[in-house]
Structure 1
Amino acid sequence: MGVPAESVDEEGGEETSAARSMRVAAALARKGGDQFAKPGRLVEVRFVKGQSLSLTASRLLALMILTAGGDAWQDTTHRMRKSDIRRGHKGNERIVDMLEELHRTLFAEDDKSWRGKRATKRFNLIQASWEEVEDNDKETGWIEWQFTPDARRLIQESETYAVMNRQAVLGFRSAYALKLYEEGALRLHRRQPVWKVDMVGLRAALGIDPDKYADFAQLRRKVLTVAKAEIDQLAHFTVEWQEIRRGRAVIEIEFRFVSKDAPAQIATVDELERHSKGRKARRDDTVEKVVASDSPLPHSPTVDGVDVANVLKKVTAALVSSDAASSGGVELWARFPRGRLHFGATEEAAREIGVRYGGGWDVDMIAEAYRDHMGARLNTLSGTKLEKSWKGWCEAFFNRRGRP
């Protein structure tokens, strides 16, 4: 989820000419996992009027930044397997369309002309790309690409960054939701969780065509409401907005991004690990719920006279007891420690997470705040969910308070 990337900023010895965002990107790449850093200047660059990226092209650009990691600012080529892009699609034809879309999409930033006058600079992000042409229509191969000098300059100048989750990026079904997610991740890292923007700026940032959704009620329903629903479900934060009006017309929007508490972060992690099919139904709470029962099923399936459900139950119990035995007879993360995080397997594991993700705060102080916040709910958590809840709390604690 939301990693306190400042804690990885000082790891390793990246070249001094690399901006802070690139040092963080390199550190996150070394750690592995789904988190990656997108430079703030790339998040804030706006689309040229009338242009935007489709959802698939936006995802590809995110994967390119993730793959390039701490070397994204350098004048070099980067490469990625086609299979990492397709995500289950059998053909490579969509990759061609996404690459060509990235090549032709223009971005803009404020600049000055040769006379020192205010000017708008327009540029691309991808300079060149290579796609391997496979014989016999094989579903393998690689793509290579180079970022343009303008893109590398923006990356190198970025001292701020958005820490994003790869699974969340690939999980969005709305390009507007993905862009708003990037804006929120960037501002939460800056500890400036409010984004106030006029309607022209909002359209430029999210890539909304000037002639599309001219009625704000449509924009609210088709863009903002959809984006909020997806972000609240998949991101490590939630988003709200306030409409600022002049008369009856909406002239500005004030977005507020709020880090999720520990239980909500657990639900988000669980959702990201589930298949995307049925995600909208789960979000709308229209999924039929199965009520567990200890009583045997009326028609439990059998194979050669063997009760399959009973066998599965025994195997599960054996695995649980095996886990407990491997931790010295005490199940790791059976409950959250009640005292100081010093002695014992769970205590040591909890302390390690607190040191790693707590941003330098006293781990016992973070633990005490966690116990107070969770209250009786803490007794209902164990195992992986408890571990992820504690990690999410440490991250949120640091995000709210900054360094001690």
Structure 2
Amino acid sequence: MRVAAALARKGGDEFVKPGRLVEVRFVKGQSLSLTSSRLLALMILTAGGDAWQDITHRMRKADIRRGHKGNERIGDMLEELHRTLFAEDDTSWRGKRTTKRFNLIQASWEEVEEVGDGGKETGWIEWQFTPDARRLIQESETYAVMNRQAVLGFRSAYALKLYEEGALRLHRRQPVWKVDMVGLRAALGIDPDKYGDFAQLRRKVLTVAKTEIDQLAHYTVEWQEIRRGRAVTEIEFRFAPKDAPAQIATVDELGRHSTGRKARREDAVEEVVAIESALPRSDAVDSAAVADVLKRVTASLATPESSAGVNAEPWARFPRGKLHFGVTENAAREIGLRHGGGWDVDLIADAYREHMGDRLNTLSGSKLEKSWKGFCEAFLTRRGRPS
């Protein structure tokens, strides 16, 4: 909860989900739809460091519905959250093993008068987490770091749930998840009567989840099928942080509109027209016209950092020297200390500069910050903690 509060103060798209909530499983035959799964994630993000407290949380409807014009679906999502049961292993009063079933949302309120003064929409929802949900949140010693844009970008509920599982295990530095088929169905909310043939489950669930995660998450996922005879009995998932170029591509994708995302994932997008095509089709092109076009294109690509001077603001460029002095240096050093696992931050920085090469000169702002953070995490995963 301290981490959640710190990320909330920082702002941005990153938020945490407590590990106990990630690992809680669905009751047999129940699951959350994609829209309700997103709403639950937004509730956790909004509650932040106060999620464990017995208080009421609130959120604007406009932050939930995104591009939809109406709010009619929000009530359905809230009702789905109320009636969905989760389960965890527990012990009875006699000391016997039991399965405990519970809800995550205790009560919710939805405003029905949504237009305020001046005709501006002002609809809000309020909710309270159940005592069981607050207990799980408070008892969590680990957490998954997730990206809000990635959560809202998934088109498969199974992909979103697997994304949470991977984010949790990567943060624990345990990038392998081995689970039997019963546990997999319970974790992802796959109905026992659905996809009885594993080939269907592979095609409809695992492959779809992998393609979305590989495109939108800060890591990639692979899996190995473990068989007993001809039947698949267990799945072993492996989650690997993306390297710096892949992290940059992910940040770019999350910043783009979701329309065309599937086509981009399948490399079915037309290439951008070259600059020359914007020039007059004539054998006698005026050199002044060419210069004018190039000048306008260059100006459109210029960044505030490049026009204001070196290091005019944090993350204008990656530091060239030691990570000790200056605004960007201190910010980069803090990320290296937090995500580098104890390795010397200047050692990681030298490896980062060598890995990126000339590409490092093209990065600035949040893209550079996220690229550096991703490299620190990948550096630790590859080398382990220093002895």
Question: 1:381 pairs with 337, 362, 371, which one?
Answer: 362
Contact 2:39-2:77 within 8 A present in 1 as well: yes
- Please name the residue that 1:127 is paired with: 106
Q: In 1, distance between residues paired with 2:311 and 2:5?
A: 39
- Please name the residue that 1:76 is paired with: 55
Contact 1:199-1:251 within 8 A present in 2 as well: yes
Question: 1:327 pairs with 297, 303, 309, which one?
Answer: 309
- Please name the residue that 1:19 is paired with: none
Question: 2:251 pairs with 269, 273, 277, which one?
Answer: 269
Contact 1:358-1:394 within 8 A present in 2 as well: no
Q: In 2, distance between residues paired with 1:263 and 1:318?
A: 23
1:222 alignment partner AA: K
1:269 alignment partner AA: V
Normalising to structure 2: TM-score of the pair? 0.87
- Please name the residue that 2:285 is paired with: none
- Please name the residue that 1:103 is paired with: 82
Q: Following TM superposition, by how much is the alpha carbon of 1:388 offset from its aligned partner in structure 2, in angstroms? A: 4.2
- Please name the residue that 2:286 is paired with: none
Identify if the C-alpha distance between structure 1 residues 373 and 90 changes in structure 2 by more than 3 Å, giving closer, same or farther.
same
RMSD (Å), alpha carbons:
3.0
Q: In 1, distance between residues paired with 2:127 and 2:265?
A: 37
Larger mean Cα displacement after TM superposition, 159-168 or 379-388: 379-388
SS at match of 2:239: strand
Contact 1:48-1:204 within 8 A present in 2 as well: yes
Q: In 1, distance between residues paired with 2:147 and 2:304?
A: 32
- Please name the residue that 1:364 is paired with: 346
SS at match of 1:66: helix
Question: 1:196 pairs with 178, 183, 190, which one?
Answer: 178
Is residue 2:75 matched to residue 1:93? no
Question: 1:241 pairs with 212, 223, 232, which one?
Answer: 223
Q: In 2, distance between residues paired with 1:64 and 1:403?
A: 38
- Please name the residue that 2:190 is paired with: 208
Q: In 2, distance between residues paired with 1:285 and 1:155?
A: 41
Identify if the C-alpha distance between structure 1 residues 292 and 380 changes in structure 2 by more than 3 Å, giving closer, same or farther.
farther
2:214 alignment partner AA: D
1:35 alignment partner AA: E
- Please name the residue that 1:30 is paired with: 9
- Deviations 1:62-113 (Å, cap 9, x if unpaired)? 0000000011011110000000001011111100000000000000111122
Q: In 2, distance between residues paired with 1:329 and 1:390?
A: 16
SS at match of 1:64: helix
- Deviations 1:183-224 (Å, cap 9, x if unpaired)? 000000111100000000000000000000000000000000
SS at match of 1:108: strand
SS at match of 2:200: helix
- Percent identity of paired positions between Structure 1 and Structure 2: 80
Q: Relative CO higher for 1 or 2, CA cutoff 8 Å, sep ≥ 6? A: 1
Contact 1:104-1:124 within 8 A present in 2 as well: yes
Normalising to structure 1: TM-score of the pair? 0.84
- Please name the residue that 1:12 is paired with: none
Contact 1:262-1:393 within 8 A present in 2 as well: yes
Q: In 1, distance between residues paired with 2:314 and 2:9?
A: 27
Identify if the C-alpha distance between structure 1 residues 323 and 337 changes in structure 2 by more than 3 Å, giving closer, same or farther.
closer
Contact 1:358-1:397 within 8 A present in 2 as well: no
- Please name the residue that 2:140 is paired with: 158
Identify if the C-alpha distance between structure 1 residues 358 and 60 changes in structure 2 by more than 3 Å, giving closer, same or farther.
same
Q: How many residue pairs get matched?
A: 373
Identify if the C-alpha distance between structure 1 residues 353 and 395 changes in structure 2 by more than 3 Å, giving closer, same or farther.
farther
- Please name the residue that 2:128 is paired with: 146
Larger mean Cα displacement after TM superposition, 386-395 or 85-94: 386-395
Identify if the C-alpha distance between structure 1 residues 388 and 156 changes in structure 2 by more than 3 Å, giving closer, same or farther.
closer
Larger mean Cα displacement after TM superposition, 389-398 or 40-49: 389-398
Identify if the C-alpha distance between structure 1 residues 356 and 332 changes in structure 2 by more than 3 Å, giving closer, same or farther.
closer
- Deviations 1:100-137 (Å, cap 9, x if unpaired)? 00000000111122222111111000000000111679
1:200 alignment partner AA: V
